[in-house]
Amino acid sequence: MKKNHAIEISPPDISGHRSSNTGVDYVHVLDSGKPGPNVMVQALTHGNEFCGALALKVLFDEKISPERGKLTLAFANVAAFARFDFDDPDRSRFIDEDYNRVWGDEALSGARDSTELRRARELRPFVDAADYLLDLHSMHEPCRPIMVCGAQNKGGAKSAAFSRLIGAPADLLIDTGHPAGLRMIERGAFNDPASPRTAVLIECGQHWEKSAADVAVDILFRFLRATGAVGASICQLHARLAPPAVQRLVRVTEPVVAKSVNLKFPYLFKGLEVIPAAGTVVATDGDTIWRTPYDDCVMVMPSLAHVKPGATVLRLGRYE
């Protein structure tokens, strides 16, 4: 099968991290024994997005532990990751359903069953105990990194403020969530503006480009420094990228949600383009046409790789 994009990095061997001290495979809790925050980092939310797993391997390989509080390191959808195939890399995104759409209580506590729900139920106690959460992702299409800060009028504002403490990347995103289901970063107190518990999701770049792995490592250590879990000197040693001169916030006003598999874009979007004129056609799906609702509209994470009814294929936003 033809690959859409070059694969510049190889999936890491994580088999040595299956056995853990938590009783849950591939989930490790490192306890400093000192007061401090409960910090969690998750990789492999999607099995074909393994730049985050490469970043976690740095922590394991260098035996980096928290200086205060607890640090939970989780490889999430390991079942999907196990079937990664260089000839069909998108096949390992998930097994039965998107692991990052099942984090509402109605899904986790309901009777429905899937590979991803079973795994999410295993990880739920760790997620619900975290004061700070970093979810490491990448994108199907080439695009500069984006920090997803949750939904507007909910946890987005506090997550954006925390992202400024992290100091990277340049583009921060507050969006409208996913119609298909709740993401991990929107679960429980993460979504409550009054709670100090904060979660962010980094899109490190195109799934398999080398730069995505560099972004994942850089953001991981910036995050650990911002939480105070790991000392500044250690984190500085692992900095891989220069911080942006300025961070800008994109606020999404509406998603483009597919009605069928026939949704099309009129242009080859690369992501974060700014469309100057309101009323410009940006997507069509049969008789349904989406147009830019205002001037200087930002195209956020456009991708037809997983188009199906109910899938969000594009977000329309503007810089603040």
Query: Residues 307-319: what's their mean pLDDT?
Result: 93
Least confident range from 58-67, 103-112, 148-157, 275-284: namely: 148-157
* pLDDT tens column, 16-60: 999 999 999 999 999 999 999 999 999 999 999 999 999 999 999
Axis crossing angle, helix 51-61 with helix 210-227, rounded to the nearest 10: 60
Task: Quote the Cα angle for 235-140-12, to 5°.
Answer: 50
CA distances from 203 to 93, 114, 147, 282, 295 (A): 15, 25, 6, 22, 26
Residue whose entry in the numeric block shows the structure tokens 């295993």:
122
Predicted local confidence at residue 177, as pLDDT: 82
What does the angle CA 237 – CA 242 – CA 245 come to, to the nearest 5 degrees?
Answer: 140
pLDDT at 1 (0 to 100): 35
pTM for this model (two decimals): 0.94
Residue 2: its pLDDT value, please?
Answer: 40
For residue 223, the model assigns a pLDDT of 98
Domain ranges of the chain: 15-237, 253-319
Span 15-237: which CATH code? 3.40.630.10
pLDDT at position 155, please?
Answer: 85
260-278 tens-digit pLDDT: 999 999 988 989 999 999 9
- Whether 162 contacts 249, CB under 8 Å: no
Q: Provide the Cα torsion 299, 312, 174, 55; round to 10°.
A: -90
Query: What confidence tens digit (pLDDT) does each residue in 83-131 have?
Result: 999 889 889 999 999 999 999 999 999 999 999 999 999 999 999 999 9
Q: What is 253-319's CATH number?
A: 2.40.50
* pLDDT: which is higher, 47 or 142: 47
- For residue 4, what pLDDT band results from cuts at 50, 70 and 90? low
Residues 257 and 179 sit within 8 Å (Cβ to Cβ): yes
Averaged pLDDT for residues 4-23: 93
Instruction: Give the pLDDT of residue 212.
Output: 97
Position with higher pLDDT, 137 vs 150:
137
Residue 153's pLDDT band, with cuts at 50, 70 and 90, is confident
What pLDDT, on the 0 to 100 scale, is given for residue 78? 98
Residue-level pLDDT at 305: 85
Beta bridge partners of 250: 173, 319
CA distance 36 to 80: 33
pLDDT tens for 172-228 read 999 988 878 999 999 999 999 999 999 999 999 999 999 999 999 999 999 999 999
As given in the structure block, the two tokens for residue 288 are 């349904």
